[in-house]
Amino acid sequence: MDSEQLQKEITALSNWIPAVKEEMGKVLVGQAQLVDRLIIGLLCKHHILLEGVPGLAKTLTINALAGCLHVDFSRIQFTPDLLPSDLIGTMIYNPQEGNFSSKLGPVFSNIILADEINRAPAKVQSALLEAMQERQVTLGEKTYKLPDPFLVLATQNPIDQEGTYQLPEAQLDRFLFKVTLDYPTAEQELVILDRMATSAPVYKTKQVADPKSVIRSIELVNQIYIDPAVRKYIVDIVQATRQPETIDPALANLVRAGASPRATINMALAARARAFTLGRAYVTPQDIKDLAPDILRHRILPSYEAEAEDITTDAIVEKILSGVVVP
């Protein structure tokens, strides 16, 4: 497909994105970045880790998205006593017939909210992340494919809260984004008060997008053009996370481990998806700069020296982005 034909297809197919944003705006106040990241994650067929204190509309957001797409939605509350079988399902013995049958778990939905994933032990987290990576679950001798589209939004409390298990770095690396949520502004909170301070049911979003259009959009995302100079820009950024002192001598000894090659792959894929949401058939350096903090935030390990000086990974990423030459 040539670039002109691709642009026409993108223009024709991407009209469900503003419709979804508008419909979700009837429920949500603010959270525009979260909605953008959810749509990009959907187009990339990748999953998102969300960090924030309770009460910031995480459940409402994912429920609203499921309503807009008219797909199955499951909310799974992670607790210290949760078992992998509670998530993916189990085999049940039928004494009358003398055999086992499969009982599928709540992970078999299009959109999953893994609420407070860092409150469950590592075995349960691994069971979910294996399903996310392989997009299938094996029960007994039979393998079951997960539905398409399939998106997991895993939320976690800030690490300093009690009763939480920190996710291992190898598991964190499998999330496309780590999005941090902050409190709404005073103006936004007034709108929230007017809209939500009622015992009446909250507005339910209506279907405004066809899952078939979403799947076709995912296929088009893979064809979006990335110029060689932009590809090199992506690699330069990821390389700089491993040797930050080459960008800024002040960053020396502040990074214990940089981003993996998975960050390079995800940055290119997410940039393509962002270009699609904006109706473009090509990626720009600005796409990379806008997405890099959410892609790198959970992939850079600050050193003990950085932690002692209270230097965050966001600050390190910001300095790297300002130091790498933009094409």
Helix (H) or strand (E) holding 198: none
Torsion angle of the four alpha carbons 123, 38, 170, 86, in this order, in degrees rounded to the nearest 10? 10
- Strands in the chain per DSSP E: 48-51, 73-77, 89-94, 99-104, 111-115, 136-139, 142-145, 151-156, 177-180, 255-257, 301-302
Q: What is the pTM of this model?
A: 0.88
Which of 168, 176, 182 has its CA nearest to residue 132?
Answer: 176
Tally of CB atoms within 10 A around 229? 10
Low-confidence ranges of the chain (pLDDT < 70): 1, 159-164, 201
CB within 8 A of 137, min separation 6: which ones? 88, 89, 104, 105, 107, 108, 131, 143, 144, 146
Best CA proximity match to 181, nearest among 18, 37, 325, 13: 37
Q: What is the pLDDT of residue 162?
A: 61
pLDDT, residue 163, reads: 62
Dihedral (CA of 84, 86, 88, 89) sign: positive
pLDDT at 235: 95
Q: Looking at residue 290, what is its pLDDT? A: 93
- Token readout for 308 is 């002692």
- Are the beta carbons of 76 and 112 closer than 8 angstroms? yes
| pLDDT tens string 42-65 | 999 899 998 887 777 788 888 888
**Domains of the chain and any CATH numbers:** 15-196 (3.40.50.300), 224-323 (1.10.8.80)
pLDDT digits (tens, 9 = 90+) for 313-322: 888 899 998 8
